[in-house]
Structure 1
Amino acid sequence: MAYARGGGSERQPQTASPGRIHALDGFRLLAALMVMLYHYAGLYGGWGVHPRSVFPCLYMVARYGWLGVEMFFMISGFSICLSAWGRSLGYFAVSRVSRIYPAYWMAVLLTASVVTIWPHVRQVSGWQAVLMNFTIVQEALGVPNVDGVYWTLFAELKFYALFAAVVSFGLTYRRCVLFCCLWHLAGLISISDGGNSLEAWVIPGFAPYFVAGIAFSLMHRFAPNAVLWAIVAFSFVLAEHHLGERLAGQRDAGHPMPAWPAQLTVLAAFAIMAVLALGWLTTIHWRWLTPAGALTYPLYLVHQHIGMTLIYSLRDRLPAIALVLGTTLVMLGVSWAIHRLCERPLSARLRPSLQQSIDQVHIAAGSGVPTRQAPRERVSTVPEAPKAGEPARSHLEESAVGVGEISPPLN
C-alpha cells in the first residue's frame, strides 16, 4: 500500500485500480433479509394474531430480526469511511444526496399510495405528512413516518452530518481515530447528563456500530493495530450494553425476551466485519452478490408496510410459509424495478446537477473552477513496505462499496 508522509504520523493511501468487496454485499443482503423476516414473521401486523401461533418455530428466530438494523449501521460506517476517503466535502454531500434520495422518494410515493388504498396495517396522516416525509427529517418535526423503517434513515443522516465534519478537513487515519474516540466520549457524556439534545444527535445506542464500522475500514486500509482493536472492543462492549434498551422495546406476549440470542447475534456481526476488514473473504467473487447488494436499499425501503398489506390481504388464501416467501419475491421484484427504473437514472441526473451547483458556489466564492473528481466512488491502494516506526500496513486492495445504509443504510 502506497502512502504519502506528512503531518507527523499521518498516513495517506494513494488511489490505484478499483475493486469491490463482494462479501460485504452478501452481509448487507443478510441484514435486509433479517429485517424482512422480523416484519413478516415476528410482528402481529399482517396476520391479525400473534405470529407465534402462525410460525411456532420460525418465530423464535424472526423475533430477533430487528438486529439487521444494527448490522446496517456497522456496514454504513465501514463503507462511508472507505468511499469518502480523498473526497471533498462537496463531493461527499453530492454522493450521499444522489444515492439516498431517489429510491427513497419513490418508496414514499409507492408506500403512501398502497396504504391509502388498502389501509389495513397502516394509514397516512395526510398529504402534508407525505410531503414532509420526502425530506427524511420528518422525525425531527414530530411528523409520523410513512413507513416504519424510515426512522433509521434519520439516524443515518445524523451520522453523515457528524462525519462530514471530518471530511471537511480531509480524511486521515489520525482524524478518523480521533472522531471515533470523541463520538464515544460524547455518547457517554450525553447518557450521564440524563438525556438532552446532545444525546439526540450522538445516538449513543447506535454509535458503537457506526464507530466499529469506521475502525474496521481503517483496518482494511492500514492493517489492524492495537488502537483500532481497542476501539472495536470498546464499541462491542457498548453495543452489548445498549442491547438492553432495544430488548426492552421488544416484548414477547408481554414478557421480556431472552437477551442471549441478541448478544450472540451482535458478536457474530462484529466477527463477520472483522473477517471482512482483514481481507479473509476477498476470494469471494460471486457475481450475483453485486446486484443483490444494489437491491438491498430499495428492498429495505418498501418491504415493510407494502409487504404486510399483501400478507393481510392473502393470509386466508395461502399457506403462511408460502405467503411469506411469495411476498419476499414480490418485494424483490418491486425493488429491482425501483433500482432500474428510478434509482439509477435519477441518480445519474441528480449527481451532475448537484455537482454543478457546488462548482458555481466555489466560483462565486472566488476559488476558481474546482478540480472535478471521478464520478464513481472507487478507492484502492497498492502494497508497499512500511517505513521504520510505522505500524504494519495492509496488503489488501481497497474496494468500492455499496450503500451503507440501511442502511441501513445503508455509495
Structure 2
Amino acid sequence: MGHETSTPSRMVELDALRGIAAVAVLGYHFTTRYQEQIGHVGGPPVDLLAGKYGVYLFFLISGFVIFMTLERTRTAADFVVSRFSRLFPGYWAALLITSAVVYTVGLPFQRLPVGQWLLNFTMVQEILGAEHLDGSYWTLQIELFFYVQMLFWYMLGQLRRIHWIIGGWLVLATVEGLCEKHHWHFSYWVRELMILRFIPFFAIGILFYRLHRYPAEWRLNLTMLLCALLAIAVGERPIFLPVALVCCAIFALFVRGHLRFLDSRFFVFLGSISYALYLVHQAIGFVVIHHLEQHGVPAWLACGTAALATLALATLLHTTIERPAMQRIRDAWRASRMQALSPR
C-alpha cells in the first residue's frame, strides 16, 4: 500500500465543498431551471446554468468519503446503520415538509398521484417507475446504488483491489457511453444499477482519497485518474470532460491543503445544512418564487427570498430532525452492540 499519512477524521473542507455545491445547484434551479419549467415573469434575473454541475462534485466527495469510511468500518452492519441514519431520517422529514407545501399551495404539475408519492419514500422511486416529488431527488438513488456497490466489495474483502474494480467500472462506463452515442443496445438494468453514467466521477473521488492517503502509490492513482478522464471524454457528452477537470482541480487543491480557508464558521455552517438544503430547496423554492412573482415581486427578489426561506427551513430541519435522529439511531445501535458483546 505504501506509506500512510494521517487523515483527519473530519474533513471540514469537504463539508464546505458540499455546502458550496448545494448552493450552486440551488442557484441553477431558481434561475435557469425555473425559467425552463415555469418561466420567470419578465425573464430570469441571471442564467446560472453552470450550477447544475455541482452534483458531480457531490459524487467526487462521496467517492472520497465512502472509501475512507469503509477503510475504518468494522462490520457491514455498522456501515449500513451509519448510512441509513445519515440519509433517511432527513429525507423522510424533507419529503413530508415538501408534500405539505406542494399539496396545499403548490403548482398543479408538482402534485403526484398517491401511488407515486408513496414510492418516493423508498428513495429509489425512479427505478420503480415513479416521478420525484422534488426534482433534486434524482441523485439520491445514484448515491444509494454507489453505497450498495461499495458495501458489496467490502463484504467480499476486495477493497484492497479497488484499482481493478475501478478499471472494470471505467471499461463498462465507456462501452455504455459508446452504445448510447451509436444507438446500440445496452442493458438498462446494468446501466442503472451500476450507475455507469456517473461511476467515473465516484472513481475520481476514490482515487483522490488514495492520492491523499497513500502518497507512495501516486503513479498508479494518477494513471487511473487519467483513465477515468478518458472514459468520460469517450463515453460522455463533451461538456462532462471540462466538468470533470474542474472537479479534479478543486480536489487537487484540497488534497494539497490549499482549501484550508474553507475552515471558517460560515462554511462549516453551510456544510452542516447542505444535505437538508439540497432536499428542501427546489419544489418549495419554486412555490415561493411563483407566488411572489404573481404578486408583482421582481424575479431577482423572488429568487433571493426563496433562497433565504429554504436556507432557514434547511437549518431548522438539520437542527431539529436530521442531526438528532442520526445521533439517536447511532447511539441505539452502539448500545445494542455493546449489550450483545457483554457477558450474560
Secondary structure of 1:185 counterpart: helix
Structure-2 change in CA distance of 1:241 and 1:110 (3 Å): farther
Shift of 1:139: 1.6
Deviations 1:293-347 (A, max 9, x none): 1111010011001001100000143222122122111111100000000001111
2:102–2:111 contact (8 Å) kept in structure 1: yes
- Once residues 355 and 117 of structure 1 are traced to their aligned partners in structure 2, the CA distance between those partners, rounded to angstroms, is 40
Shift of 1:156: 0.7
Structure-2 change in CA distance of 1:265 and 1:198 (3 Å): closer
1:46–1:308 contact (8 Å) kept in structure 2: no
2:173–2:235 contact (8 Å) kept in structure 1: no
Instruction: Describe how 1:291-310 pairs up with structure 2 within 5 A.
Output: 291-310=269-288
- Once residues 289 and 258 of structure 2 are traced to their aligned partners in structure 1, the CA distance between those partners, rounded to angstroms, is 40
- Once residues 48 and 189 of structure 1 are traced to their aligned partners in structure 2, the CA distance between those partners, rounded to angstroms, is 37
Shift of 1:352: 3.7
Instruction: Tell me the equivalent position of 1:375.
Output: none
- Once residues 241 and 124 of structure 1 are traced to their aligned partners in structure 2, the CA distance between those partners, rounded to angstroms, is 39
Structure-2 change in CA distance of 1:281 and 1:54 (3 Å): closer
Instruction: Tell me the equivalent position of 2:111.
Output: 124
What amino acid is aligned across from residue 141 of structure 1 in structure 2? L
2:161 paired with 1:175:
yes
2:185 paired with 1:194:
yes
Instruction: Tell me the equivalent position of 2:321.
Output: 342
Shift of 1:12: 8.8
2:25 paired with 1:30:
no
Shift of 1:91: 1.1
- Once residues 226 and 67 of structure 1 are traced to their aligned partners in structure 2, the CA distance between those partners, rounded to angstroms, is 28
- Once residues 221 and 51 of structure 1 are traced to their aligned partners in structure 2, the CA distance between those partners, rounded to angstroms, is 51
Shift of 1:356: 6.3
2:35–2:43 contact (8 Å) kept in structure 1: no
Shift of 1:37: 1.2
Shift of 1:63: 1.9
- Once residues 130 and 52 of structure 2 are traced to their aligned partners in structure 1, the CA distance between those partners, rounded to angstroms, is 23
> Mean Cα displacement is larger for which, 186-195 or 267-276?
186-195
Q: Relative contact order, CA 8 A, sep 6+: which one is greater?
A: 1
Query: Which 4+ residue blocks in structure 1 deviate beyond 6 angstroms?
Result: 356-360
Gaps in structure 1 of 5+ consecutive residues: 1-9, 245-258, 364-368, 371-411
- The number of equivalent residue pairs is 333
- Once residues 194 and 47 of structure 1 are traced to their aligned partners in structure 2, the CA distance between those partners, rounded to angstroms, is 31
Give 1:232's match in structure 2, choosing from 215, 225, 230: 225
Shift of 1:190: 4.5
- Once residues 27 and 355 of structure 1 are traced to their aligned partners in structure 2, the CA distance between those partners, rounded to angstroms, is 30
2:198 paired with 1:206:
yes
2:102–2:284 contact (8 Å) kept in structure 1: yes
Structure-2 change in CA distance of 1:103 and 1:86 (3 Å): same
- Once residues 43 and 158 of structure 2 are traced to their aligned partners in structure 1, the CA distance between those partners, rounded to angstroms, is 51
Deviations 1:225-254 (A, max 9, x none): 11101121122233344552xxxxxxxxxx
2:292–2:302 contact (8 Å) kept in structure 1: yes
Higher helix content, 1 or 2: 2
Give 2:92's match in structure 1, choosing from 105, 123, 126: 105
1:38–1:65 contact (8 Å) kept in structure 2: yes
Instruction: Tell me the equivalent position of 1:221.
Output: 213
Shift of 1:281: 3.0
Instruction: Tell me the equivalent position of 2:54.
Output: 68
Instruction: Describe how 1:154-165 pairs up with structure 2 within 5 A.
Output: 154-165=141-152
- Once residues 67 and 336 of structure 1 are traced to their aligned partners in structure 2, the CA distance between those partners, rounded to angstroms, is 24
Instruction: Tell me the equivalent position of 1:402.
Output: none
Shift of 1:176: 2.3
1:28–1:293 contact (8 Å) kept in structure 2: yes
Structure-2 change in CA distance of 1:283 and 1:151 (3 Å): closer
What amino acid is aligned across from residue 90 of structure 1 in structure 2? A
Shift of 1:26: 2.5
Secondary structure of 2:88 counterpart: helix
- Once residues 152 and 224 of structure 2 are traced to their aligned partners in structure 1, the CA distance between those partners, rounded to angstroms, is 20
- Please report the RMSD computed on the Cα atoms of aligned residues, expressed in angstroms: 2.8
1:86–1:170 contact (8 Å) kept in structure 2: no
- Once residues 320 and 237 of structure 1 are traced to their aligned partners in structure 2, the CA distance between those partners, rounded to angstroms, is 41
Shift of 1:89: 1.3
Instruction: Tell me the equivalent position of 1:139.
Output: 126
- Once residues 41 and 164 of structure 1 are traced to their aligned partners in structure 2, the CA distance between those partners, rounded to angstroms, is 38
Shift of 1:157: 1.0
Instruction: Tell me the equivalent position of 2:31.
Output: 41
Gaps in structure 2 of 5+ consecutive residues: none
> Mean Cα displacement is larger for which, 194-203 or 235-244?
235-244
Instruction: Tell me the equivalent position of 2:64.
Output: 78
2:62–2:205 contact (8 Å) kept in structure 1: yes
What amino acid is aligned across from residue 216 of structure 1 in structure 2? F
- Once residues 47 and 133 of structure 1 are traced to their aligned partners in structure 2, the CA distance between those partners, rounded to angstroms, is 21
- Once residues 91 and 234 of structure 2 are traced to their aligned partners in structure 1, the CA distance between those partners, rounded to angstroms, is 32
Shift of 1:22: 2.6
- Once residues 70 and 51 of structure 1 are traced to their aligned partners in structure 2, the CA distance between those partners, rounded to angstroms, is 30
- Once residues 105 and 272 of structure 2 are traced to their aligned partners in structure 1, the CA distance between those partners, rounded to angstroms, is 29
What amino acid is aligned across from residue 29 of structure 2 in structure 1? H
Instruction: Tell me the equivalent position of 1:374.
Output: none
Shift of 1:39: 0.8
TM-score, normalisation: structure 1: 0.73
